[in-house]
Amino acid sequence: MSRTTQGAPAAAAPHPGGPGDAPGPGEARAAFRAGSTSPTSGWAPGYTQVNLISVPRDWAYDVLLFCQRNPRPCPVLDVTDPGGTSTVLAPDADLRTDLPAYRVWEDGELAAEPGEVTDRWRDDLVTFLIGCSFTFEWALADAGVPLRHLEQERNVSMYVTDRQCRPAGQMHGPMVVSMRPVPEELLGTAARVTGRMPAVHGAPVHSGDPARIGIADLGAPDFGDAVDLLPGDVPVFWACGVTPQAAVMASRPPFAITHAPGRMFVTDVRDEQYLVA
């Protein structure tokens, strides 16, 4: 099946979660199953998107414990049984086909980036679905915080930091962060709004000087696109669900499948479900 970038009706929607005629989560997954490789930011507004990582059963405990020990970057929202291809987060979906693009890893090296992974699936694969900061973007927008990456029709910027996660067995690696430019007068608002959603990364882990967390050049993200700061904007960094992917690269399990950065799994769960208080 060939993949194209056509059929991305809401990729640049400026206010995720707002009203409109954007497709729902089932329609989004059908489009990805049919071949779209579009980034998922702005798709199915109001519905939670998640990171995916599948590892063989004999690595599953270390991955689950790694996530437990690093809940800011790795909030686990569901785990399948070995070989399982569905999730309670979207019971009708097939985890092997319904994402825009996947990454296949062998010994920690990127081996392929296919549009589906049916042929590569294994009966011993355990799949982890991990919260994504896209989930709190509607809350930021509702609070008046502009979303520069959507204004600029780009994927969010993601960076590998110099902060090491707490290791678990064979799993170790650095924390990855997403960055959003926030007008300085809205820093408190952004922290307060996202702090109420700990299941999807919660409050920022850092604001301001990128060098303080080992980021040399904001213009050269490790994943996603560079996003321009406007005058008065401060870079704000949230723990990112790509962190397990960085741990796969560092820890080198013999086999793993992940989503491609920015190409998430769209669930049937409303974003508000992850709001506390």
Residues that bind a second copy (CB under 8 A): 60-61, 64-65, 68-69, 76, 79, 81, 169, 192, 195-196, 198, 276-277
CA–CA separation, 47 and 220 (whole Å): 30
Task: Look at the alpha carbons of 241, 247, 249, 253 in this order and tell me if their dihedral is positive or negative.
Answer: negative
Tokens of 95: 């985890």
Residue 45, classed as helix, strand or coil, is coil
Q: Which is nearer to a second copy, 124 or 222 (CB)?
A: 124
Least Å distance, CB 139 to a second copy, is 12
Least Å distance, CB 149 to a second copy, is 25
Entry field: residues in the chain:
277
Least Å distance, CB 168 to a second copy, is 8
Are 267 and 90 contacting, i.e. CB atoms less than 8 angstroms apart? yes
Q: Which is nearer to a second copy, 216 or 276 (CB)?
A: 276
Least Å distance, CB 64 to a second copy, is 5
273: Cα separation from own chain's centroid: 17
Q: Which is nearer to a second copy, 216 or 277 (CB)?
A: 277
Least Å distance, CB 89 to a second copy, is 12
Q: Which is nearer to a second copy, 97 or 194 (CB)?
A: 194
Q: Which is nearer to a second copy, 65 or 234 (CB)?
A: 65
Say which amino acid occupies 112: A
Are 131 and 51 contacting, i.e. CB atoms less than 8 angstroms apart? yes
Q: Which is nearer to a second copy, 60 or 186 (CB)?
A: 60
Phi, psi of 243 (to 5 degrees): -55, -45
- b/e burial code for range 33-46 (CB count within 10 A of at least 16 → b): bebbbbbbbbbbbb
Least Å distance, CB 277 to a second copy, is 4
